[in-house]
Amino acid sequence: MCWFGLVTPCCAESESVNKPVAATDWAVPSNQILDRAQFFSQHPKILSDIANSLSAMRQNHNYSVYLVVCHNVLSSSLRERADQLYESWVGDSGRGMVIVYQLDPVAYGNNPSIVYHKGDGLDLKGNDQANPIPERDVALMLNDVIHELRERNDPKAVMLKSLVLNIENKITRYHDIPEASWTDSESVTMIAIFSGFVIVIPLIGLLIRQLLMTSSNRANQRYYFPEVKVGYRLGAPYGGGWVSQQSFSQASQQHSDVSPG
């Protein structure tokens, strides 16, 4: 499919022309590429690779990604232009993305503006994909892609090709991840570990509580010494008691009457 036969080529976009065509009136390109600056006329091979990647995302994942290349955007920001085209081309379906790239580096440098589906929890029943990629996951994908492109600093045509192909690879890998099942070995392992924590942690709490209660009970115990009856204490110097003297009986009369000789 030749793109140049499907979309009427025009001069590089210039917003200063009287009565410019509003972005909301731009027809949806059948090959998902709108080259307002005729940039890809010098890069037919790259154009073909990008068109094939965009077509694969639509067919395999029911996800339409549009690429718009402008020489410059003067009447609005790139973000506003991408928003306008997103609302016009993707609309409420939420299954798509619009990439607007400006060739003139004066205002935005080498940074494309990307708008993608907004909101989570969409329930669109398609033939191949029942649930779209959540917005948070799309944002992470795009951050990774843009970071890689900035580090490489490729020429514009190569950068646009890498941008689209990397987005396709991210989306494909995302959908190739199998859904988790209760019978998977990893799921069973995680369930066992979680159940172990659920059981062990309360047991540890009960053991600590029991130790604390035992320690508290021991601290509150009182010991009473038994009453001991003590006999009379010995006198000094043995007993140290209050009795400090002893008396002896007088000598018998028998011994005292005996006369010498």
Q: How far apart are CA 23 and CA 29, in angstroms?
A: 13
User: Would you state the pLDDT for residue 126?
Assistant: 45
CB neighbour list of residue 10: distance below 8 Å, 6 or more residues apart: 36, 38
Q: How far apart are CA 46 and CA 161, in angstroms?
A: 6
Provide the whole-model pTM: 0.59
Decide if pLDDT at 130 tops 70: no
Decide if pLDDT at 49 tops 90: yes
> Is 182 part of any domain?
no
* DSSP result, 186-255: HHHHHHHHHHHHHHHHHHHHHHHHHHHHHHHHHHH----PPP----PPP-TTTS-SS------PPPPHHH
CB neighbour list of residue 56: distance below 8 Å, 6 or more residues apart: 168
CATH number at residue 171: 3.10.310.50
> Is 202 part of any domain?
no
> Is 125 part of any domain?
yes
The predicted-structure confidence for 147-157, as pLDDT tens digits, reads as follows 888 888 889 99
**Host domain of residue 12:** 3-18+27-176
The predicted-structure confidence for 6-48, as pLDDT tens digits, reads as follows 232 333 333 333 344 566 678 899 899 999 999 999 999 999 9
Domain count across the chain: 1
